[in-house]
């Protein structure tokens, strides 16, 4: 009888932990994300976390939303894997809601001269939909910092930048890269691909 209880308990543990893995539930937030990934940057939110992750065996990255219920976490959606394409200054991933939390993750290649990334725009919506942004002739990190209500700015940490914004919009999907002197060197305007400006 004792052996039956031990075997039954072991079988129950295997079912519980196997089921947790199958359904994206774990005691650790990163353990809920599909694939062999590691946490790069995190934003704590009410009842969970936003996680910028990188695949351990490749250069792929993505964003996951992980919810917490008591001591366990469960996967609540995220992006596919992204990578930096050849000759691109950076790669951008976004995930979230139009009228709620929207995350923007930017990966910069190793050795890049991009030191700061901004998300946002202080022009009226729709004015910069064309390929040529009228600000690119004059915009700098100093100008961006003069409009704190229109831009989020982060310094690049370990080839990544992670932004929590308040909803998907043209402004939040306009990304600019600046060098250490604050000079604009790359951008991704709304509706276009990332590009170098030099």
Task: Please say if the pLDDT value at position 12 is more than 80.
Answer: no
Q: What DSSP character marks residue 157?
A: B
Q: How far apart are CA 71 and CA 110, in angstroms?
A: 37
Prediction pTM value: 0.82
Q: How far apart are CA 185 and CA 133, in angstroms?
A: 13
Cα–Cα distances in angstroms (integers) from residue 20 to residues 23, 56, 122, 125, in the given order = 5, 21, 45, 44
> Which range in 17-31, 100-114, 125-139 is most confidently predicted, on average pLDDT?
100-114
Identify the pLDDT of residue 131.
46
As given in the structure block, the two tokens for residue 50 are 């936003």
């Amino acid at each position: 009888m004792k052996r039956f209880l031990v075997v039954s308990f072991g079988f129950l543990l295997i079912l519980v932990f196997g089921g947790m893995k199958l359904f994206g539930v774990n005691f650790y937030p990163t353990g809920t994300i599909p694939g062999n990934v590691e946490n790069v940057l995190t934003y704590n939110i009410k009842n969970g976390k936003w996680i910028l992750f990188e695949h351990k065996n490749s250069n792929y990255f993505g964003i996951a939303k992980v919810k917490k219920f008591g001591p366990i976490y469960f996967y609540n959606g995220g992006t596919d894997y992204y990578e930096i394409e050849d000759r691109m200054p950076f790669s951008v991933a976004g995930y979230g809601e139009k009228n709620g939390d929207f995350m923007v993750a930017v990966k910069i290649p190793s050795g890049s001269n991009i030191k700061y990334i901004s998300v946002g725009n202080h022009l009226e919506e729709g004015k910069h939909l064309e390929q040529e942004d009228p600000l690119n002739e004059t915009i700098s990190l100093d100008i961006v910092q003069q409009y704190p209500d229109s831009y989020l700015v982060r310094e690049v940490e370990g080839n990544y930048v992670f932004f929590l914004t308040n909803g998907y919009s043209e402004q939040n999907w306009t990304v600019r890269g600046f060098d250490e002197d604050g000079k604009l060197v790359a951008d991704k305007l709304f509706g276009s691909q990332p590009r170098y400006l030099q």
